[in-house]
Amino acid sequence: MIVQVNNLTKTYLRHDGYINAVDNLTLDIPKGSFVTITGASGSGKTTLLLILGGLLRPTSGKMFYDGKEIDLHDEDELAKFRSNHVGFVMQSFALIPYLTAVENIMIALNVKNSNKSTIRKRANELLKWVGLEDRTTHYPKELSAGQQQRVAIARALANNPDLLLADEPTGNLDPSLSEEILSILKEINQKHNTTVVMVTHSPMAAEYGNTRIHLNKGKILSD
Amino acid sequence: MRLIDLTLKELWHRKSQLISGLLAITLGIGVIVGIRSISVVSEKAVAVNLDNLGANILVLPQAASVDNYYSADIDAPTFPESYVEKVVTSSLPGVDNMSPKLTRRMKIGNENIVLTGVLPKSEIASKPIWQTGGFLGNQINASCAPTTDDQPTKYLDEKLQRKGIDTLAGYDCFVGSSVAKKLNLKEKSTLTITTEKFTVVRILPETGTVDDDRVFANLHSVQALLGTGEQISAIEIMGCCRAISDGLLGKLRNILPDTRITTIGQIVSTQIETNRLMDKISLVFLIIILFVGSISIGNYIWANVNERRKEIGILRMIGYHKRHIYYILILKAVIIGIVGGFAGFVLGTLSAFWLGPQFAGIHVNPIYSLLLVSIVISVSISIIGSIIPAYMAGKIEPFSNMQED
Mean of per-residue pLDDT scores for chain A: 89
Mean pLDDT value of segment A51-78: 87
pLDDT tens per residue, range B126-136: 444 343 333 33
Cβ separation A75–B402 shorter than 8 A = no
Q: Is residue B268 part of a domain?
A: no
What does the DSSP 8-state code read for residue B70?
Answer: G
pLDDT tens per residue, range A165-199: 999 888 878 888 888 889 999 999 998 889 999 99
pLDDT of residue B347: 93
* Contact between residue B56 and residue B241 where contact means Cβ atoms under 8 Å apart: yes
pLDDT of residue B70: 64
> Does B228 lie in the same domain as B308?
no
| Smallest Cα distance from A71 to chain B, Å | 16
Q: Is residue B126 part of a domain?
A: yes
| Smallest Cα distance from B402 to chain A, Å | 7
Domain boundary (B263, B291, B319) is at B263
Cβ-nearest to B2 among A50, A110, A167: A110
Which CATH architecture group holds A31-56+75-222?
3-Layer(aba) Sandwich (3.40)
pLDDT of residue B358: 77
pLDDT of residue B379: 93
| Smallest Cα distance from A105 to chain B, Å | 9
Q: Is residue B339 part of a domain?
A: yes
Number of domains in chain B: 2
d(CA B11, CA A135): 24
> Does B370 lie in the same domain as B297?
yes
> Does B243 lie in the same domain as B169?
yes
Q: Is residue B269 part of a domain?
A: no
Cβ separation B318–A83 shorter than 8 A = yes
> Does B113 lie in the same domain as B90?
yes
> How many C-beta atoms lie closer than 10 Å to residue B162's C-beta?
22
Spell out the residues 6+ positions from residue B30 whose beta carbon is closer than 8 angstroms to its own: B343, B344, B345, B347, B348, B351
Mean pLDDT value of segment A64-84: 86
> Does B230 lie in the same domain as B191?
yes
Share of chain A above pLDDT 90, in %: 40
Indicate whether A21 pLDDT > 70: yes
> Does B211 lie in the same domain as B294?
no
ipTM, interface predicted TM-score of the complex = 0.90
> Does B234 lie in the same domain as B188?
yes
Q: Is residue B148 part of a domain?
A: yes
Single-letter residue type at B201: V
pLDDT of residue B402: 63
Mean of per-residue pLDDT scores for chain B: 78
Domain boundary (B263, B293, B311) is at B263
Domain boundary (B234, B263, B292) is at B263
pLDDT of residue B163: 44
Q: Is residue B235 part of a domain?
A: yes
Measured torsion, CA atoms of residues B117, B119, B123, B125, in degrees rounded to the nearest 10: 180
Query: Which of B303, B241, B238 is CA-nearest to residue B266?
Result: B241
pLDDT of residue B270: 66
Indicate whether A80 pLDDT > 80: yes
pLDDT tens track, chain B, 405 positions: 788 888 888 888 888 888 888 888 898 889 888 888 887 777 777 766 666 665 678 888 887 776 666 666 777 788 898 888 888 787 777 777 778 888 888 888 888 898 989 887 655 544 443 433 333 333 333 344 444 444 433 433 444 343 456 677 888 898 989 999 988 888 888 888 888 889 998 888 887 878 888 898 998 899 998 888 888 988 888 777 667 666 777 888 888 888 888 776 666 666 667 777 777 887 888 888 888 888 888 888 888 888 888 889 899 888 888 899 999 999 999 999 999 999 999 999 998 888 877 776 778 888 888 899 999 999 998 999 899 999 999 888 877 666 544
Taking contacts as CB-CB distances below 8 angstroms, the residues of chain A near B2 are 110, 114, 116
pLDDT of residue B67: 62
Cβ-nearest to A82 among B310, B313, B318: B318
Indicate whether A93 pLDDT > 90: no
Query: Which of B197, B193, B177 is CA-nearest to residue B185?
Result: B177
Q: How many CB pairs under 8 A join A and B?
A: 77
For the purposes of burial, counting CB atoms within 10 Å of the CB of A13, is it exposed (0-12), middle (13-18) or buried (19 or more)? Answer: exposed
pLDDT of residue B337: 92
Q: Is residue B300 part of a domain?
A: yes
d(CA B75, CA B58): 15
d(CA A166, CA A55): 13
Query: Which of A36, A30, A48 is CA-nearest to residue A217?
Result: A48
pLDDT of residue B348: 92
Q: Which residue of A has its CA nearest to B314?
A: A94
d(CA B295, CA B385): 6
Share of chain A above pLDDT 70, in %: 99
Range of the domain at B233: 54-263
pLDDT of residue B154: 40
Q: Is residue B49 part of a domain?
A: no
| Smallest Cα distance from A149 to chain B, Å | 14
pLDDT of residue B137: 34
> Does B373 lie in the same domain as B306?
yes
What residue ranges do the domains of chain A occupy? Answer: 31-56+75-222
